[in-house]
Amino acid sequence: MRFGILIFPGTWSDTDCYHQVKTVLGQEADYVWHRQESLAGYDCVIVPGGFSYGDYLRAGAIARFAPVMEALSDFAGNGGLVVGICNGFQVLCEAGLLPGALMRNAHLEYRCQWTNLRTERIDTSFTTRCHPSQSLRIPVSHGEGNYYADDVTLNRLETNGQVLFRYCDDDGLANEAANPNGSARNIAGIINERGNVLGMMPHPERSCEPLLGSDDGNLIFLSLIDNVG
């Protein structure tokens, strides 16, 4: 399987994602510069975390205008698998590839901490390796991860089964205490209607080796590899 990993100026999870898919999982991977105009040949494109262009205006607001984003839109439109992590999720929302927006954390502080994510579906390209409702230990690291959408949109996401991960406590309950940033309905990750684009605030690439505290993030990458074949 071949991964393309986008780099905008200010991206910083690019090398972490590369290490994960290439070194840990032995897949093919390339870095894709933000000025590149084609994504041909990739099975999955990762939009990694960081502060693209500094995110001084609003997270992801400038990156959406990068040349590679048009190619990404076409790639997703043709059913290509896309994973936006952290800043990547913000970019996908800004670009209209996913609904909703990510606002400043409700407590107004940056948060780097471990979270538990309840897997809401296991029949997507991203979660076939998970058990039903499996709780994944994956960390967050962001200042603007507070997922927001209006009620109509949120209800539609729920009805369509587009909510893929929710912050939950040790018992799997998606309650306020387990919510690190004030996200609506404890949403940590969503997919598009077609089911080929995932955006999530937590960092699965940081939890793929037991040495680092958890390897639950691997389940997402291994699911992708299974589904591409």
Partner 1 sequence: MPVTKEILDEIALSQAEYDMIVDRLDREPNPVELGMFGALWSEHCGYKHSRPLLRFFPSRSPRVLSQSGAENAGAVDIGDGLAVVFKVESHNHPSAVEPLQGAATGVGGIVRDILAMGARPIALLNSLRFGPPDSSHNRHLFRGVVEGISWYGNCIGVPDVAGEIYFDQSYSYNPLVNAMCVGLVSSDRLASAAAGRSGSVLLLVGADTGRDGIHGASGLASRTFEEEQELRPTVQVGNPFLEKVLIESCLEALETGFVTGIQDLGAAGLTSAAIESAYRGRRGLILDISQVHRREPGMTGYEVMLSESQERMLLVTSPEHVADVRQVFEKWDVPCKEIGQVIREPQAHIMDGEQGIAQLPIKHLTEAPRYRLKGQPSREQLVRQQLNISDVPLPDNGVDDTLLRLLASPNIASKRSVYQRYDHQVQTNTVAGPGGDAAVLRIKGTEKAVALTIDCNSRYCYLDPYRGGQIVVAEACRNLSCTGAEPLALTDCLNFGNPERPEIYYQLEWCVRGIARACRVLGVPVVSGNVSLYNESQGQAIYPTPVVGGLGLLEDVALRTGSAFTEEGLTVFLLGQSRFRPRSSDLAGSELLAEVHGLALGRPAISLDLEQQVQALCRRAIQQGLVASAHDCAEGGLAVALAESCIPNSVGFRAGPVLSRLPNRWDCSYFGERQSRIVISVRPEHAQQLRALALEAKVPLLELGVTGGPTFHLGSHADLPISEIADAWEGGLQRAMASPA
Indicate the length of the chain as a whole number: 229
- Residue 105 tokens, joined: 């954390």
What are 25's two structure tokens? 């999982």
Q: Which of residues 133-152 bind partner 1 (CB under 8 A)?
A: 139, 141, 143
Q: Which residue number, 74 or 209, has a Cβ lying nearer to partner 1? A: 209
Q: What is the footprint of partner 1 within residues 89-118 (CB under 8 A)?
A: 109-113
20 near partner 1 (CB under 8 A): yes
Reply yes or no on whether 203 is catalytic.
yes
Tokens of 98: 């996913």
Judged by CB under 8 A, does residue 10 bind partner 1?
Answer: yes
Residue nearer to partner 1 on the CB measure, 118 or 203: 203
> Footprint of partner 1 on residues 27-66 (CB under 8 A)?
49-51, 53-56
- Out of 2, 9, 148, 185, the residue judged to bind partner 1 by CB under 8 A: 9
DSSP conformational letter for 171: T
* Segment contacting partner 1 by CB under 8 A, of 16-24, 93-101, 155-163, 183-191: 16-24
Q: Of the listed 17, 34, 44, 86, which one is catalytic?
A: 86
Long-range contacts for 54-57 (Cβ within 8 Å, ≥24 apart)?
Answer: 54/10, 55/10, 55/87, 55/90, 55/144
Residue ranges in 64-83 that form contacts with partner 1 under rule CB under 8 A: none
Count the residues of the shown chain that bind partner 1, applying the rule CB under 8 A: 30
* Distance of alpha carbon 39 from alpha carbon 219, whole angstroms: 25
* DSSP per-residue letters across 87-119: HHHHHHHHTTSSSSEEEPPTTSS-EEEEEEEEE
Catalytic site includes residue 44: no
Closest distance to partner 1 from the beta carbon of 14 (Å): 9
| Token reading at 36 | 């590149």
Type of residue found at 191 = I
CB-CB contact of 189 with 201 (8 Å): yes
**Residue (104 or 156) nearer to partner 1, CB:** 104
Distances (CA, A) of 107 to 35, 61, 217: 36, 22, 26
Could you give the residue numbers annotated as active site? Answer: 86, 203, 205
Write out the residues near partner 1 by the rule CB under 8 A.
9-10, 12-13, 15-16, 19-20, 23, 49-51, 53-56, 109-113, 139, 141, 143, 203, 205-206, 209, 211-212
